[in-house]
Structure 1
Amino acid sequence: MYEVLIPVDDDEERARAQAAAVADLPGRDEIVAHVFHVFTDNPSGASVGQHGGARRARDSLEDAGVEVELHEDGGGNPGGLIVETADDLDVDAICVGARKRSPAGKALLGSTSQDVILSSDRPVIVTGKSK
């Protein structure tokens, strides 16, 4: 059995792509997928189970026969919280979704995926949007 952390944001298409990448890993019936969302603004008090990206990822993974657990955090630096959660859960890998951005955009705005890639000592799988 191996465990993968799937941090999702508000982009449901990217969440489905991350779920598909994990479901396509060998031995999918031996995977536990930890779908994780950081709420940076949550005035309605929604839970991770109500979050669109998390629901899409969970549904896709369960349809593929992958065991899913949902996790959330209430705020802070998403990249740091993703790495911290991966450490706390002792997952084997992290699957992040990347968005297309210009080199200048990356330098000026930063990138959660890039932060995770550079900060984690675990393997990081990077996906784009589904086709």
Structure 2
Amino acid sequence: MSDAADPPDLLSRPLVPVASEEDAVDTCRAAFPRIAAVGGRPVVVHIIEKAGGAPDKASVEQRETVAEAAFDAVRDCAADHGLDVETKISYGRDVAGTIIEAADDIDASAIVFRPRGGSWLLDLLTGDVRDALVTESDRPVVVLPDADTEGGR
């Protein structure tokens, strides 16, 4: 017998980072059924990377428009699963560090994401973020499979 309270479920208050509208759809299709199954309340974050003194690749307004399109897709998917979802834009020079800070800010139960497929170059670039999340986060990191490939589909 234990007097300690049960630990919270990994998916009770997850932080779910998304990069674009397409990524939001794919990530939410993989994550939201699992989060809904445990009655979780996800917070979806989009990171706007700042160049740190160098010219940004696109204006902040353009990047915020991308974030809002991603959030629209998130809200549609959340409604399909009966989830109450929060959305948040965070700004920072280090994507992984900014995701970890956002998780701290909301006291996330875990950071939940789906790796992005693509070329070896894209994997090399995004792999740094993935690896940093796994090695630098002080909370669990849940890496989900692609919703379309689960169970041999």
TM-score under structure 1 normalisation? 0.77
Deviations 1:60-98 (A, max 9, x none): 112211111111112321100001110111011111221
- In structure 2, relative to structure 1, the CA distance for the partners of 1:27 and 1:51 (3 Å cut) is closer
Q: Which amino acid aligns with 1:77?
A: D
Partner SS state of residue 37, structure 1: strand
**Unaligned 5+ residue runs, structure 2?**
1-7, 50-56, 149-153
Q: Check if 1:78 corresponds to 2:95.
A: yes
Q: Check if 1:9 corresponds to 2:19.
A: yes
The structure with the larger Rg is 2
Partner SS state of residue 14, structure 2: strand
Q: Which has the higher strand share?
A: 1
Q: Which amino acid aligns with 2:59?
A: P
Q: Answer whether contact 2:30 2:147 (CA < 8 A) is retained.
A: no
TM-score under structure 2 normalisation? 0.68
**Unaligned 5+ residue runs, structure 1?**
none
Deviations 1:109-129 (A, max 9, x none): 352222111111222222354
Q: Which amino acid aligns with 2:17?
A: P
Deviations 1:34-53 (A, max 9, x none): 01011125525254785322
Identity fraction in percent: 26
Q: Check if 1:32 corresponds to 2:41.
A: yes
